Amino acid sequence: MRAKLERDFDRFKRELPRDFPAHVRETYGIDLTARYLGAVVPHPIGKGSGQLSLNTGQLEDDATAGLAFSVLKTVIAEDETGARAMAAWAIHETKMKVERRAGGTGTGTETGREGWTVTWKGRGWDRPFGDYLALVRAGRDLTRAGRLLVVPSVKYHLPRLTEPFREGEYRYATTQLADAWREPPLLVEKDFSPTLAGDALADALVCFNRLFDAARVVAYGGWDLSDRNLRVLDSYRPLPPSTAPYRPLTGTGNICSGRMILEYARRGCESVQLHTFFQLPLSEYAATHGSRVQRALHALVFHPRDGLIAVMLEREARGELERQGGELRFLDLRAHAHRAG
Ligand SMILES: Cc1cc2nc3c(=O)[nH]c(=O)nc-3n(C[C@H](O)[C@H](O)[C@H](O)COP(=O)(O)O)c2cc1C
């Protein structure tokens, strides 16, 4: 198995097999099937909401690369008059900077604590709502064609105790998305927030997708982010599925290896969403050809030491993951978390 993995890692540097989950199943007896919001996907790796899912070209590239799903950039909810309680989120900012960021003292398991972060001061979708609906329709077509599961993301206003709920915004924005999607169910990531990051009102919130550096006034990721998220997931400890309602979890934050995917999966995540790892300098990927998403998938799945195949085989060797009907299953990592917890 090890020798095969070394060989695959090497030959796939030029090109990943078109249907790499099928290859992984045939060659290693590993079933990568995962779930995102209850939908079955061929493997757990998707793209998180942000600047990499703003247009149809990016979605086409994701489908070609073999990504499991893409979450669209977050749009700001509005009512039929165009009023938006969260208008402060719709600012325009294009320049992103990929930087190294040291951090982390907690639960990280990899050697070396130098991580990556994307520094960027923008926020939500800053173009007309109608343009977003066009993107949703393009995503719907890719989803229907079975090429890529695409899911919109919406920021709705969360009122303080004394304020009313903005039902007009919820109803209008959600109905528009549902109409654009046409056939139910419409899957959606709901971003529910009373304020901007960095505002005093945000102090009491647990937010998963980025941390906030008050000194530099920027959001950031890297090891501090995964340490925090894994710690929160540890304390959440969902009950076994047989006794609790099904709560789908998807993980995000500093996922740059299969080993980190496993850390989220063990804590109950059925899929993961990345942003930063799709933006590294080309010299950081072992693959020599293909888009950044393809090069990232190559490393995440096939790296002989820290790829998903390697870490699942490692768990099997330690007696921590068993074959079912001859196969190791990605979704069983989660079942294992319940037993351990
Ligand atoms: C430039 C940038 C823009 C982002 N925009 C959004 C957004 O609009 N909505 C959202 O829910 N998350 C957004 N995110 C968060 C990412 O989807 C992701 O959860 C987060 O960056 C952690 O993953 P990572 O460590 O792989 O980058 C953004 C992240 C970055 C770096």
DSSP string of 278-307, one letter each residue: GSS-GGGSS--SS-HHHHHHHHHHH-TTTS
Q: How far is CA 327 from the centre of its chain?
A: 25
* Contact between 35 and 248 (Cβ < 8 Å): yes
120 CB less than 6 Å from ligand 1? Answer: yes
What percent of the chain lies above the pLDDT cut of 90? 71
Largest CA distance in the chain: 63
What atom in ligand 1 is closest to the CA of residue 191?
A: 11
Q: Which of 95-109, 235-249, 308-322 has the highest mean pLDDT?
A: 308-322
The mean per-residue pLDDT over the stretch 94-116 comes to 76
Residue 202, amino acid: A
> In terms of DSSP H, where are the helices of 38-104?
56-65
Distance CA 109, CA 154 (A): 33
Q: What is the pLDDT of residues 225-259, one digit of tens each?
A: 999 999 988 887 655 656 666 678 899 999 999 99
Nearest CA to ligand 1 atom 15: 209
44 CB less than 6 Å from ligand 1? Answer: no
The token pair that represents 304 in the structure block: 């002989």
Least confident of 72-81, 193-202, 290-299: 193-202
Least confident of 48-62, 103-117, 163-177, 307-321: 103-117
pLDDT for 106: 55
Confidence of residue 15 (pLDDT cuts 50, 70, 90): very high
Return the half-sphere exposure (C-beta side, CA atoms, 13 A cut-off) of residue 68. Answer: 25
What atom in ligand 1 is closest to the CA of residue 225?
A: 25
* Contact between 299 and 16 (Cβ < 8 Å): no
For a pocket test of ligand 1, which of 116, 207, 209, 297 has the largest count of ligand atoms closer than 8 A to its C-beta? 209
The average confidence (pLDDT) of the chain is 90
The token pair that represents 162 in the structure block: 């004394």
Nearest CA to ligand 1 atom 4: 50
Instruction: Give 320 or 86, the one with higher predicted confidence.
Output: 320
Q: List, as own/partner pairs, every contact residues 21-26 make where C-beta atoms lie below 8 angstroms and the sequence separation is at least 24, other chains included.
A: 24/301, 24/309, 25/327
156 CB less than 6 Å from ligand 1? Answer: no
Confidence of residue 201 (pLDDT cuts 50, 70, 90): low
The mean per-residue pLDDT over the stretch 270-299 comes to 97
Confidence of residue 207 (pLDDT cuts 50, 70, 90): low
Instruction: Give 237 or 309, the one with higher predicted confidence.
Output: 309
Q: What is the pLDDT of residues 133-156, one digit of tens each?
A: 999 999 999 999 999 999 999 999
Q: What is the pLDDT of residues 180-192, one digit of tens each?
A: 999 999 999 988 8
